[in-house]
Amino acid sequence: MDRSIIRLLTCGSVDDGKSTLIGRLLVETDSIPHDTIESTKKIRRSGSTIAAGEIDFSLLTDGLEAEREQGITIDVAYRSMSLLDGKRLIISDAPGHEQYTRNMAVAASRADIGLVLIDATKGVRTQTLRHLTICSLMGVSRVIVAINKLDALDFQQVIYDEIKEIVEKVIARLQLLDVVFIPLSALAGDNVVGKSKNMSWYQGDTLLEAIQGWQPSKTAELSSRMRIQFVSRAENFRGLSGTVHHGSFNLGDEIRVFPSNKTSKISKIISDQKEVKSAAEFDAVTLLLESEVDATRGDLIAKVNEQLHPSDRFNADIVWLHEDELIHSRSYLLIAGSTQTPATITKIKHKIDVNTGSEISATDLGINEIGSVEIATDMPLTLLAYSESREFGNFILVDRLTFNTMGAGMIRHSLRRGENLTYQKYEVNKGARAAQKNQQAKVIWLTGLSGSGKSTIANGVEKRLYATGMHPYVLDGDNLRMGLNADLGFTPADRAENVRRISEVAKVLVDAGLIVLVAIISPFEADRRRAKSLFEDGEFIEVFVDTPVEICAARDPKGLYKKASEGNIPNFTGVGQDYQRPSKPDLLLKGDDDLDENIAKILKAII
């Protein structure tokens, strides 16, 4: 990061006075145009108590009209000002409402200083504790705890001391090392830029002094590194383009590309369409290598002596940002820099109680909850511990269907078991096994409500295939729950794990050259998509057995609909739990059509 720029994040609960404080700081450092200041004397929020003709400082950082109408900060508002030592301060005014914690978390990931406001009239609240926890996880270097609105309490030192004592206990368990406490009044201006005459008992820095006095902490020096953003190709030209994140590269340097671990030497460096001899930190360049190496978008380039360890298993901290809860065994898209790969949460170790700091056993994470997880990625990644490198230690999880951002993560460390596994290839492969059986190996995935006819159709298809001398096998959801999946219930998390296990078994059977018929409800499209992603093109046929729930309930071969209607099965699909219809199934069957016709349609897709 360019140290001529300091990034300040302001956070706290709703109505703690963040916008007012930052507005005053900007005005008193002459960082706001005078005509803008004049406009704040004329505009008033609904319910505002500020007298006509006075400045409403809070309006200076609200960028959305909706914020002014509601009197809250929704988005992160960014403002810039110059400090006395010539550095530039970028101020991020983060939302205080719990609903917008995700906005605050994103801003914290880039912040040098976290300014956490506490309303002295209300004391320490849960959202304050959550923001302190996120500042700790996101590696914010300095935290300034500003205890605001002391003017409403006659500037009593005892109030300040009581709040400070509570926060100090939180800071100790969060292991925040650089913390400054400041009593102030954003509305009256006490201890914002100038010393307060009303709080002579406080002899510490003002807010401006605490910001200007910050110095970056010394961290371990990183070798020269560049993440490939794209591969430039033309006739007789192949360059690796990106921005140098650390150190520098020089003509003739020997480099190593991760995760392939291939080495080469820099033959040319191109910057701004000109050949140069070196590339410094933050330069956007294209590197040409003497010999071609296996490199693609998202890979990491470092000096040849750098010892990095690509892995596909990681321990990480997660701040969950979406209304839909994080589900164990659900597949998401992991994005780290320009790298994208499917990833699965293999274990939720615990979630953190932001009030006490205790670790609570958990099977899922809800919105704004923070937890520790283990992640498996579909390909090896060169990620570092977040404590070592913010740039190479962060990632986000994205829903693979909607592309909504679901969570923000920080790598703690890679897991050794991910580094020590190597896929073993055998001479007798899937193609040879299928050819021996005179068939094409594939999986027919039948999904639909309970009672839709999946198992009946799968049984009929298997009998027809077997009669012709082919080699089918049925994986039935209920049968597998009596053995392999006997430990699983019917919550969304357990259903995701149920589908994951069955899809992995199906993959093994396809590798054995079999035609696999899977009869399983699999109610969630994300889980079915993840199952399909395990197979090569043409190997996975999704069959939606579309049977109205009324017909399924009338059939009720297992008596489950009756039990569900009586309240004895709370997570029963179609009654107590939604079924997500396949958006684009490979084959659509009507469950109330003639059985032989449905069997014939599947056989046509197989043979």
Q: Quote the pLDDT of residue 237.
A: 82
Query: CB 501: neighbour CB atoms within 10 A?
Result: 15
Residue 247 DSSP label? S
Band (53; pLDDT cuts 50, 70, 90):
low
User: Percent of the chain having pLDDT more than 70?
Assistant: 88
Q: How far apart are CA 83 and CA 94, in angstroms?
A: 21
Can you give the pLDDT at residue 68? 43
Residues 6+ apart with CB under 8 A from 362: 348, 350, 351, 371
Q: How far apart are the C-alpha atoms of 378 and 386, rounded to whole Å?
A: 21
Q: Is 372 among the catalytic positions?
A: no
Retrieve residue 470's tokens: 């082919």
**Percentage above 90 pLDDT, the chain:** 46
Evaluate if residue 569 carries a pLDDT over 90: no
Q: How confident is the model at residue 3 (pLDDT cuts 50, 70, 90)?
A: low
What's the Cα-to-Cα distance from 552 to each of 302, 570, 576, 591, rounded to whole Å?
60, 18, 15, 9
* Cα–Cα distance measured from residue 579 to residue 572, given in angstroms and rounded to the nearest whole number: 10
Angle at 313 between CA 311 and CA 317, to 5 degrees: 120
Q: How far apart are CA 495 and CA 355, in angstroms?
A: 31
Between 298 and 146, the higher pLDDT residue: 146
Average pLDDT score over residue span 17-25: 83
Higher pLDDT, 158 or 70: 158
Cα separation, 295 vs 21, whole angstroms: 49
Place of tokens 């035609």: 515
Model confidence at 295, pLDDT cuts 50, 70, 90, reads confident
Confidence of residue 11 (pLDDT cuts 50, 70, 90): confident
pLDDT in tens, 421-450: 677 788 899 999 999 999 999 999 999 998
Query: What is the identity of the amino acid at 199?
Result: M
CB 180 within 8 A of CB 142: yes
| Whole-angstrom distance, CA of residue 474 vs CA of residue 502 | 11
Determine the Cα–Cα distance for residues 167 and 10; give it in Å rounded to an integer.
17
Contact 223, 267 (CB under 8 A): no
- Bridge partners of 395, per DSSP, are 409
For 84-105, write each residue's pLDDT tens digit.
677 888 888 776 666 666 677 7
SS (H, E, C) 355-397: CCCCEECCCEECCCCEEEEEEEEEEEECCCCCCCCHHHHEEEE
Residues 79, 31 contacting (CB under 8 angstroms): yes
CA dihedral (168, 174, 178, 180) in degrees, to 10, reads -30
| pLDDT value of residue 1 | 43
DSSP state of 153: G
Residue 270 pLDDT: 92
In whole angstroms, what separates CA 603 from the centre of its chain? Answer: 42
Structure tokens at 519: 């009869």
Q: What was the pLDDT predicted at 99? A: 62
pTM: 0.73
Q: What letter would DSSP give residue 577?
A: B
Identity of residue 427: E
| Sign of the CA dihedral running 177, 178, 183, 185 | negative
- What angle do helix axes 595-606 and 454-467 make, rounded to 10 degrees? 60
Which pLDDT score, from 0 to 100, does residue 73 have?
Answer: 47
Residue 493: half-sphere exposure toward Cβ, Cα within 13 Å: 15
CA angle 505–511–465, rounded 5-degree value: 85
* 179-183 vs 142-148, strand pairing mode: parallel
How do residues 417-426 score in pLDDT, each as one tens digit?
656 667 778 8
Average pLDDT over residues 166-175: 92
Q: Is the pLDDT of residue 69 over 50?
A: no
Best-predicted range by mean pLDDT (60-69, 75-84, 87-96, 131-140): 131-140
431-450 burial, b if ≥16 CB within 10 A, otherwise e? eebbeeeebebbbbbbbbbb
Which residue pairs, CB below 8 angstroms and at least 24 apart, start in 233-240? 237/288, 238/288, 238/292, 239/268, 239/270, 239/286, 239/287, 239/288, 240/286, 240/287, 240/288, 240/289, 240/295, 240/301
User: Catalytic residue among 19, 136, 414, 522, which?
Assistant: 522
Predicted local distance difference test score (pLDDT) of residue 390 = 84
Average pLDDT of the chain to the nearest whole number: 86
Separation of first and last alpha carbons in the chain: 59
The model's confidence at residue 151, banded by pLDDT at 50, 70 and 90, is very high
CA distance 529 to 557: 28
pLDDT of res. 65: 43
Single-letter amino acid code for the residue at 6: I
Q: What domains can you pick out in the chain, each with its CATH number?
A: 5-212 (3.40.50.300), 225-303 (2.40.30.10), 311-419 (2.40.30.10), 430-606 (3.40.50.300)
Residue written as tokens 């935290």?
A: 143
- What was the pLDDT predicted at 54? 72
Q: Is the pLDDT of residue 491 over 90?
A: no
Inter-residue contact 323 to 276 (CB < 8 Å): no
User: What is the per-residue burial (b if ≥16 Cβ within 10 Å, else e) of 198-210?
Assistant: ebeebeebbbbeb
The whole-number average pLDDT for the span 467-488 is 94
pLDDT in tens, 346-390: 999 999 887 788 889 988 899 888 899 999 998 888 888 888 888
State how far the Cα of 474 lies from the Cα of 471, in Å rounded to an integer: 10
Peptide bond between residue 548 and the one before it cis (omega within 30 degrees of 0): no
**Residue in the structure block whose two tokens are 């996975």:** 540
Alpha-carbon gap, residue 464 to 457, rounded angstroms: 11
Q: Of 222-236, 265-279, 396-410, which gets the smallest average pLDDT?
A: 222-236
How is residue 573 annotated by DSSP? B
Q: Residue 307 is encoded by which pair of tokens?
A: 């010892």
